[in-house]
Structures are given as C-alpha cells and as structure tokens.
Chains A and B, each alone.
Chain A
C-alpha cells in the first residue's frame, strides 16, 4: 500500500515544490528527477503486485474523505468564480448543481457512504499506473524545454510556467488516485480534479479562443460529473443490494438490473470524459493547449480515465442492451471520427480525431464487454497511449522547428529532420500497420464481435473504420517520406533534452510490440481471467508470424546499403518539361514555376460539416436509449 500512497502523494509534493522553482534548468532537474522516481515507483509497483491479482487496502478513510469533500466544495467555488469572471453561466449552474448533489449525498446517505476498502490494485490498475507513471512523466520532462521554447515563440502569452507544472503534477497524482481507488466517492473526487486541471491547462494561453474552449471542456465534463454524482446517489440509496460506493462490491453485486442504472450513468460520465460523440468538440477545442498538454491529458492519460471506467464496468454491461447501445456510441464515434480525420490537414486535429476514434473503439469493446473484447480494449489502451503520445510530442517538436503543424508543411521531413521523421513514422505505423499494436486489437475485436449476437454491426463499423484509418495515416506518412531536394536540414538547434523523452517513447512503441505477448500473459490475461473465468489470447503461431514481421521491418532498412552508389539519378518526370531537382520548371511566358503536391482531403465527402451532425445525433439517441434500456431492465 505504501507504493500506492507514494504514487498519489509524491507528485503532489513535487507539484508544490515546483511552485517555487523559477529557473528552467533547475526546473528541468527537479522534473527529470521526479519523473525518474515516479517511473521507477510504478515499475516497482508492477514487480510488487503483478502476480498477486486484486489486492484491497482499507486505507485511512474519515479524514481523507472529509478533506476531499472540502476540496470539492472549494473547486466548485473556483468554477463559480471563473464562470462569473468570464460570464459563462452554464458552468456556474452545473457546478452549483453538482455541489448541491454532493451535499445532498453526504447529508442524506451519510450512513451508506462507507467502503470497506478505499484503495486497491489489480493488473488493470497496474497497466494504467505504468502508462501514467512512465509515459506521463516522460511527457512532463519533455514539457519543460517545450514550454521554454513556447514562450520564446509566443512572447504575448503570460509566463505562468510555475502554475503549469504545478497543475501537471497535481494531475498525475489525481490520475494515480483515480485508478487506485476502490471507493467510488474517491474515484469521483479524482475525476473532478482531472476535469479542473484540464480546464486550467487548455486555458493556459489566456486568449479568447483558449478560454472559450476551456469552458467548453469544463461544461461537458461537468455534465458527466453530474451524472456521476447521480449514479453515486442511486448506489448509496440502494446500498444493501447494489453494494453502495464500494467498486468491488458493486461489480460483484448479484442484482444486475439495479446496478445497470448507475453503470449507465457512470458510463455516460465516461463518454463525456473520453470525448465520444456528441461531446467530441471539447477534445478538438482542447488542441489550443500547448502540445505536451494534448499529449498528456488529451490522448494518453486523462481521456483514458473515461474508457478506464467503462472497461471497469464492462462485466455489468456485457450482454445487456444498455451496454450494447453504449458500445454503439463508441462504434459510431469510431467510424465517424476516423472519416472526418481524412478531411483534416492540421496535424493536431488529425491526432485529436484519431484519439476520439480510438477511444470510441475502446468504448465499443467495453460496452459489448465479452472477455475477448475486454482483452482487446485494454490492449488498445496500452498501444494507443504509447503511440499517440509519441505523435503528439513529435508534432510539437516539428512545429517548433518547421513553424507549422500543417501536415502539408511536413513534406520532406525525412530530409529536413530525418530522426524526427523516423520517429513519427514509427508512431504512425504503431497506429495502423499490421504487426504493430493497434492492429492486433482491431483484429482481436473483429474475431470477438463475430461471436456476439448482433456483432455484425460492429464488424461493419470496424471494416469501414479501419479502411478510412489506413487512408488518413498513410497519406500523412507519405508526406513525411517524400524526398524533397535542396531543402535545408533543420534538425539541429532544438534543445537537446526533449529528444530523450522522444527516443524513449519511440523505443517503447517498438518494445510494446515485441513484448506484447508478455504484457498480455502477465497482466491482461490474468485480469480478464479473474473477471470472466475465461481469457483470450492470440494463437502462438500468429504471435510468431507477427514477431517475424516486425523483425523483418527492423532488418530491412539494412538493405539501403545495397542501393547506395550504383543507381543513376534522374529528376522526376514532369510531362517532358525540363525540371530542376526541386521541381521548378520553365512554364509558359518564360516564367519559372514550382510544382507542389497536395494530399487529398475529400472534404466534400468526409468534411466535418457533412459528418459531425449525423454522428452526433445518432450518438445522442443511443445515449438516451442506453438510459431508457437500463430503466426498462429494472
């Protein structure tokens, strides 16, 4: 238990310390050191508990719970203050409603608000802790130098870096708390903390747009928060049957119909946090935040809290129509968000849409919730966290060197920033190509959905969804590898340190592929086995084949050596027009013109304007349906 408490409390300590650190070099030292400690502690956690199954800890309750309620009230006041300052009354209303509900819960059901064990750890929590502890702290390290450069490029933004790093580390603590809590009141508390940190970090630049988007995120997440409290009230009111606010008891409850309603409500909270449709707009708006924030909160960890809770509840959802419709929300989000990603040229928006899509896919797996799908969902969480954080950080580094986050401007990156291009290449490959992670999960998901009644809907969704996924990733990859001539190499000059986190995460992307059989057998399979009594795994032969494929991919670049010297170089064919190697040619009237190539964005077919509304409407209906169906089941 000490390790758990350490992981929650240590980041808070660091956060407070960072409030007083003003010099970048010193800050870098502090952050790097504590990243090392946090990462180390989460690995220690793995070694300590990996083989133990679920372990529960009573943990001090009264004082901590009181403190949490106090902080919650304080935060509500803060939101009211901010809402009043920026005239966002919806946020005020939601905060007040939420606070009132919490007070109601605390006063009316105080007798039922007791969990036997407040903390726990099992393999799924370990996986989440590893993601938070390793990826999260690497991003924090990267952020130090990034923010320094950021302020150099944006002198108009007020320098609030102490606040930035305080919030970042407070966020890490909250995430650890969230995945370790067995007391749902605690989960809710940490849940709200992540909402606030996200609000603060999105609004970091204090521009009008940033403030607006921060409030958008806040309002949508508060909506989920309100649903969460309602679920808690419901659970507390039905404590004897449902198990009250003790997560383990709720999940073990015999009365499936009773807990389906709170599950649907918490599922709704998960949907808002994971930015599934119709709430996807807050995550897109959140892209105005500095890139490390996007990497940390809005792709690899915080939004994962949304799907984390869905996966936790998936045994409840399994086989119910409520679960099915929540799954469909995820499925529709997956296919629609992937399709819209085709029409985006802003790298961060492509990443955001792809994040939404993948969270949708995870939600689809969790909602339908049979054992294979849960296995696939957890695998997706792991692979997505690793690959996506790399892509976000990479985009940030490229933006600082190239001066743009537009994919078209990344043309020829392999010439201009070869190391960065290779890392981006690996990250993108991790998102959709065969031996890499995400694809394994999609594949497992297809095999699983075949066996589920009405699973055909999901198979169709996956079939179309993965087709469009290939399209938008491959064309981005294409831009990166285009060998442009006579362009300047701009890799040098960037601060040296940010490269270290990038290298490590790139290594992790490859390592997760190579080690995924181990990850699966030591962490995911035991978890699934403990819950369902059966587990999924890939056939040995297929694992072998995939290892062969990845080995080939790693070895084949050696063949480059074969091609060197011998070949004769000619410029590209330009319809007979003589052209220079950098594609300038003699146009008519003696003018020299330059050829430029642009990718297809097919906006007419896959544009936001065209697809968002139908997707949002369908998802809204499905969410309402999930509540109605839960009510009917009762």
Chain B
C-alpha cells in the first residue's frame, strides 16, 4: 500500500510544494536583481485570481486539451511517487505535453502556433537525455522502478556524473528557464507574446500553472534519484540544483531554438552517452 500513499500524497501535496517553490524562486530571483520581490505566497494568489476571472476562449476545445494535460501530468507524477516504471513515466509525461501542444494548435492563433512549434522543439531537445538518464539509473541500480532506485544503497551520482550534468542541462528546458525558455516564459516582454499559453486565460491558464507545479516537483524528485542513497545529501543536492537553475535563469539571455536543440542533443550525446559508454565498459569487465 506504500505506493498508494506516495501517489495520494503527491496529488495533494505537490501543488502546495510546487507553488511554494515557485514563490521562493520568485523571491530569490528578485533578490538577485536587487529587488524586494513578491510575497512568498504570490503564486497561489495568482492562481486564485485566475480562477476568479471570466472564462474566455477562442474555441471550447482548448479547455479540453488543457484539462487532459493537467490530468496526465498529475497522473504521471503520481506514478513516479508511487514508485512506478521510470520509462513509462517519461512516456506518460510526453503524452501530457502533446496535449498541451494540441491545445495551442487548436486555438489556431499565430502566437500560440509559434509557441506550440517551439514547445515541440523543446520536447525533441530534452527527450533523448531523459531516456538516457532513466537508462543510466537502470544500469546502476538494475531496475527501472522508481521504488527500487530510490531504495538503492549505491551512490548513483558517482557513477553518473555526466548523466547528471546532462540532465541538469535539459532541466533548464523543462523548468522553462532562461536560456532555454523558448516556448513560453515567466519573464515579461518576449517577442512571441506568451508563446504556447497566449490564448489560455482564466481558469485554463491556472490549470497550466498547476500542471507546471506538479511537473516541477516530479523533476526535483528525478534529481533526487541520483542522490537517493543518502536522503540528507539528496535533499541538499536537490536544493542546490534548483538554486543553480535560478542562478542560470538570471544570468543568461534566451537563445534561439537552434541553440536549445543543439544543447539538449549535445548534452545527451556527449555527457549522457559518454558517461554510459564508460559505465558499460566498466560493467563488461573493465573494472
């Protein structure tokens, strides 16, 4: 029954944790820019506000796609915290994102369209590395199950430093942070209006935001897996990784999609594959 508890706790607590993380993120970002920043609970105010707004759509179908997106993100995350199969979880997330993209296509608006295309490019950029990360964790722990990986006593990070760095690179894409926030961004004033979320408003936009919180918690959980042999180190490492992402977000400017795609693929090709090649050589009997 452990798995059920994990899943239910995720479904209930992840939005709270995700919202708080977003609040801390905005606070730290503001401090880095020499500002005071919004209250810690600002992300909750924002989402609450969005639910108070009028329901405006271009086409009713958009609400459907976004709802499916939210449900599948939550489901995939719950699967992760239930200790499920990592590869299945990765694919389930892809499914969820495809629905967000379809929502943006459905509204048939030029800005959403660009956002949707760019979201797909992002998807294409990070997917190889995510799969390699799952495979890397398998090679170290001999299991694709999150429950087994989390319970391992092997310090995975020592075997997978390259994979971890590669994962950290694409984490920037997944967290929608600069320099890879090419489809939509939390920063004001970008050239494509709001990219993929342009036509989503009110409660629909709030759902996108909540899905993002769910996903962030999942991503941090994924980072934790690299350090899971020691929970204390794990939590600290997750915090440091996220802080580093915030830092990168603030010191870099957004790049073009070509650079995002190349970075994602090179991270997978060099850091990820290189690391795994050495690892499999060692396992074959080199060491």
Note whether A and B contact each other (Cβ less than 8 A). Answer: yes
Chain A residues within CB distance 8 Å of chain B: 411-412, 414, 433-435, 439, 443, 446-447, 450, 453-454, 456, 459-460, 462-464, 466-468, 470-471, 474-475, 477-479, 481-485, 539, 541-542, 545-546, 549, 552-553, 556-557, 559-560, 563-564, 566-575, 583, 595, 597, 599-600, 605
With A467-B127, A470-B127 in contact, do A475 and B120 touch (Cβ < 8 Å)? yes
Contacts of A567 in B (CB 8 A): 55-57, 60, 63
How far, in whole Å, are A566 and B57 apart by their CA atoms in the complex? 10
A434 B91 Cβ-Cβ under 8 A: yes
Q: Please give, as numbers and ranges, the residues of chain A lying within 8 Å of B61 by CB-CB distance.
A: 414, 481, 483, 560
Closest to B54 in A: A568
**Segment among B24-32, B37-45, B108-116, B205-213 that sits at the interface with chain A:** B108-116
Assuming the contacts A459-B135, A464-B128, A468-B124, asked whether A484 and B108 have C-beta atoms less than 8 A apart, the reply is yes
Contact check, B106 vs A481: say whether CB atoms are below 8 A apart: yes
A564 contacts B101, C-beta separation under 8 Å: no
B57 CB contacts on chain A under 8 angstroms: 563, 567-570
B64 touches A560 (CB 8 A): yes
Cβ of B85 < 8 Å from any Cβ of A? yes
23 A-B residue pairings within 8 Å (CB atoms) = A434-B95, A443-B88, A456-B273, A459-B132, A459-B135, A467-B124, A468-B124, A470-B94, A471-B120, A474-B123, A477-B105, A483-B59, A483-B106, A552-B75, A566-B55, A567-B56, A567-B57, A567-B60, A569-B57, A575-B111, A597-B108, A600-B120, A600-B121
Give chain B interface residues in 81-110, CB to chain A under 8 Å.
Answer: 84-85, 87-88, 91-92, 94-95, 98, 101-102, 104-110
Given A463-B268, A475-B120, A545-B84: A569 touches B58 (CB 8 Å cut-off): yes
B139 located at the interface, meaning its Cβ lies under 8 Å from any Cβ of chain A in the complex: yes
When distances are taken between beta carbons in the complex, the residues of chain B under 8 Å from A484 are 108
Cα–Cα distance between A462 and B95 once the two chains are bound (Å): 17
Asked if B132 and A463 make an inter-chain contact with CB atoms under 8 angstroms apart, the answer reads: yes
Residue of chain B at shortest CB distance from A449: B135
Closest residue on chain A to residue B60 by CB atoms: A563
Contact count band on B: 35 or more
- The CA of A562 and the CA of B122, in the complex, are separated in Å by 32
Cα distance A412–B113 when bound, in Å? 13
Chain B interface residues toward A at CB < 8 A: 54-61, 63-65, 67-68, 71-72, 75, 79, 84-85, 87-88, 91-92, 94-95, 98, 101-102, 104-113, 116-117, 120-121, 123-125, 127-129, 131-132, 135, 138-139, 144, 193, 198-199, 258, 265, 268-269, 273, 276-277, 280, 284
For residue A447, which residues in chain B have a CB less than 8 angstroms away from its CB?
87, 144
Closest chain B residue to A541, Cβ basis: B84
State the Cβ distance, B97 to closest chain A Cβ, in Å: 9
* Interchain CB contact (< 8 A) of A542 among B85, B94, B106: B85
Query: How far is B284's CA from A411's CA once the two chains are assembled, in angstroms?
Result: 51
CB <8 Å contact, B108 and A572: yes
Cα separation A466 to B54 with both chains bound (whole Å): 40
Which residues from chain A contact B199 at a C-beta distance below 8 Å? 572-573
| Contact A456 to B276, CB < 8 A, known contacts A474-B98, A600-B121 | yes
Given contacts A450-B138, A478-B101, A545-B88, contact A570 B56 (CB under 8 A): yes
- A460–B277 Cα distance when bound, in Å, is 11
Contact A446-B106, Cβ < 8 Å, known A434-B95, A456-B277, A559-B67: no
CA distance A443 to B64 in the complex (A): 28
- Complex-state Cα separation, A463 to B226, whole angstroms: 20
| Pair B131/A556 contact, Cβ less than 8 Å | no
Bound: A443/B84 CA distance, A: 14
CB of B16, distance to nearest CB on chain A (Å): 24
Q: Which of B125, B127, B198, B276 has the most CB of A within 10 A?
A: B127
Chain A's nearest CB lies how many Å from the CB of B274?
A: 11
State the CA gap A500–B113 with chains docked (Å): 34
CA distance A539 to B144 in the complex (A): 12
- Is B84 in contact with A460, judged by CB distance below 8 angstroms? no
**Distance from B90 Cβ to chain A, minimum over Cβ atoms (Å):** 9
* CB within 8 Å for A573 and B193 given contacts A470-B98, A478-B116, A599-B117: yes
Complexed CA–CA distance, A473 and B45 (Å): 37
Apart from A443-B87, A481-B61, A482-B105: 14 A-B pairs, beta carbons within 8 A: A411-B108, A446-B135, A447-B87, A456-B280, A459-B135, A460-B273, A463-B135, A467-B124, A483-B61, A542-B84, A549-B92, A560-B60, A599-B117, A600-B117
Closest to B281 in A: A456
Q: Which of B65, B123, B129, B280 contacts A470 (CB 8 A)?
A: B123
Q: Are B127 and A481 in contact (CB under 8 A)?
A: no
Contact flag A474-B120 (CB < 8 Å), given A434-B95, A446-B135, A560-B60: yes
A412–B105 CA distance with the chains assembled, in angstroms: 10
